[in-house]
Amino acid sequence: MTLTRHAARRVVDLAGLWDFAFLGDVASQTLDAVDPAAIRFDDVMAVPACFDAAPRYAGRRGLTAYRTKLTFPDAAPHRLVVDGAHHVARFLLRDAAGKVTTLGEHHGGFTRFSFDIRDRDPGDYSLIALIDNRLGAGLADAPCPLHLDYFDWRHYGGLTRGVELHRLGSLWLDDVRVTTTDWKAGRVRVALRWAGDKTPAGAPLRIVVDGRTVLEENVKLPGLSGVIERELTIPHARPWSPDGPHLHQLAVHLGDDDWRLRIGLRQVRVDGRDILLNDEPIKLRGFNRHEAHPHFGHAVPPAVQLADVQILKAMHANFVRGSHYPQDERFLDLCDQAGLLVWSEAIGWQQTVEHLTDERFLRLQEQQIDEMLAASANHPSVILWGILNESESHKPESRPAYERLIGRLRAGDPSRPVTYASNHPFDDRCLDLCDVVSVNTYPAWYWGTLADIGKELDRVVAHLGKVGMGERPLIIAEIGGGAVPGCREWGIDRWGEPYQAEIVAESIRQILGRPDTFAGIAIWQFCDVVTAEMSRRVLARPRGFNNKGIVDEYRRPKQAFAVVCQLFEQFGALPARSS
Ligand code: ADA
């Protein structure tokens, strides 16, 4: 279950069963209060997995401890790479004599982080992870303010994605970023971030594409870290697109280290109301997807991720909005391969001015944005960056936060357009900061009838035109209605499968039927997901699920499934512009 990008570097996959202890859920049970020597590991837990999706701990919130063995073959620096931990994690290393060192702490799920391990003797150690999945009711009492109790999904906890131990040696690659600079000519820019302990003055650099060496030179390595940039022409270059998702294999070798990835040649930009992929307008037909499953929580196994991709393709979708947080990189790998376009979004859900003016919240948002970019920027499937779903973008006090976070995205990756999903389209004050305008709206569900879908979309379009936002691409980023699986009653609309199918059909017709007005649709939502445990949500959501999935939580199709298949196929065959 790892995402190893290395063949030369020694990488140990730490997936498997770890020792486990549920330490408690009382307020005094904090990371600082734990004495690692006193932890009684009386159980085991799978890694990756969500401990609170496992039957014994289902729904529990509190402090937990995980333990596994680490062996260091020599004194070289190593790096512990954690692909996701929810929500607060502290990692400790314990040597054979019982001496404990803290490796570091991380806040926020859904993104990769790492800790370097230096200056210790070779031999066997215990790695202990203290993981707290508790939520706060507000920022002040939230162990991690990125995860709050009112969001409309269950926040699962644990070591939710892969964990690896990397041996770094004396010179290593920290990151490789590949950006297409000319898709027609097959030109890319490769930026290598390197670092080291006692680095040599220079080292051989070799870049191999699809098995052919395209660059070989000796590079100078001044200091202990730096960036090397090169422009390359890919031999026998073939562009990447949803219809032809061609991937080239790239391997970078610097000294004894290496980094491997698959790249797709494609450029994205906006032009008036169009999103252009390799200079051609593209209409987005797709879904919002939560990375969740009742049996696995957020640690959705590869077989289910693959099933999701297969179902999306079966519905003739070409687009997924990763709502409302960065999706697992394995899922992005599958999207690269399948030709699905992805909107990748940093975590956020109806954040208020209080949040958007809180420095701790904003710093963690920036950290999550940086981590999302690091994990997702090389994926050709990712065409859009997003932040802060449905937050208070209509209040003037929020604007500095939008400027700051959108600025962070642009500085980290100028090659993709930026957006956020607004539920305040009529008084939003930040839309001008985006390249793509995205609006969430629920006519015929939270209010009105089927006839209101077209009318509401007209109102949105007219208003955006009036405030000077009419000449940007417009995505309806959420629209839909709920259906409890199997529910159908004469004369009752809400929660029945037939009515959901009608809402979805009318929405698709209204949006994809007007290609000159809309750049795309993301139906809310792909599959049913467990909602938050707070009574305000559970009482408003039958079964305790957000039931707006077109497939249920086990990916079984509802009536709307066939409707989407037919309509997405029909509209997918039409040109992206009427003229
Ligand atoms: C909002 C929100 C979604 C979901 C949806 C709903 O638009 O962005 O996460 O909660 O409403 O089902 O009501």
Task: Decide: 289 in ligand 1 pocket, CB within 6 A.
Answer: no
The tokens for 399 are: 């604007």
Ligand 1 pocket, residue 548 CB under 6 Å: yes
To test the pocket of ligand 1, the residue of 478, 526, 547 to mutate (highest count of ligand atoms within 8 Å of its CB) is: 478
DSSP class of 489: B
Cβ 441 under 6 angstroms from ligand 1: no
Q: For residue 183, what are the contacts with CB-CB under 8 A and spacing of at least 6?
A: 239, 265, 266, 267, 278
Distance CA 377, CA 158 (A): 25
Nearby residues of 517 by Cβ (< 8 Å), 6 or more positions away: 273, 461, 474
Average pLDDT over residues 454-467: 98
Q: Which amino acid is at 71?
A: T
Is the pLDDT at 524 greater than 50, yes or no?
A: yes
- 422 Cβ inside 6 Å of ligand 1: no
pTM of the model as a whole: 0.97
- Please give the distance, rounded to the nearest whole angstrom, from the Cα atom of residue 56 to the centre of ligand 1: 30
C-beta 497 within 6 A of ligand 1: no
Q: 367-405 pLDDT, tens per residue?
A: 999 999 999 999 999 999 999 999 999 999 999 999 999
Q: Does the C-beta of 149 come closer than 6 Å to ligand 1? A: no
444 C-alpha vs ligand 1 centroid, how far in Å? 14
For 140-144, 204-208, 243-247, 466-470, which range has the lowest pLDDT when averaged over its residues? 140-144
For residue 468, how far is its CA from the centre of ligand 1 (angstroms)?
A: 27
Does residue 3 surpass a pLDDT of 70? no
Categorize the per-residue pLDDT at 29 as very low, low, confident or very high, splitting at 50, 70 and 90.
confident
Q: What pLDDT, on a 0 to 100 scale, did the predictor assign at position 300?
A: 98
H/E stretch holding 17 reads strand 16-24
- Indicate the top mutation candidate among 546, 547, 548, 550 to test ligand 1's pocket, ranked by most ligand atoms within 8 A of CB: 546
The answer to whether the CB of 389 is under 6 A from ligand 1 is: yes
Q: What is the pLDDT of residues 155-212, one digit of tens each?
A: 999 999 999 999 999 999 999 999 999 999 999 999 999 999 887 889 999 999 999 9
Q: How many of the other CB atoms lie within 10 Å of CB of 342? A: 23
Chain mean pLDDT for the chain: 96
Q: Return the sign of the alpha-carbon dihedral for residues 276, 278, 279, 281.
A: negative
Left, alpha or beta for 15 (phi > 0: left; psi -120 to 50: alpha)? beta
Judge if the beta carbon of residue 390 lies within 6 A of ligand 1.
yes
Does residue 545's CB lie within 6 angstroms of at least one atom of ligand 1?
A: no
pLDDT tens-place string over residues 298-353: 999 999 999 999 999 999 999 999 999 999 999 999 999 999 999 999 999 999 99
Asked if pLDDT for residue 250 goes beyond 50, the answer is: yes
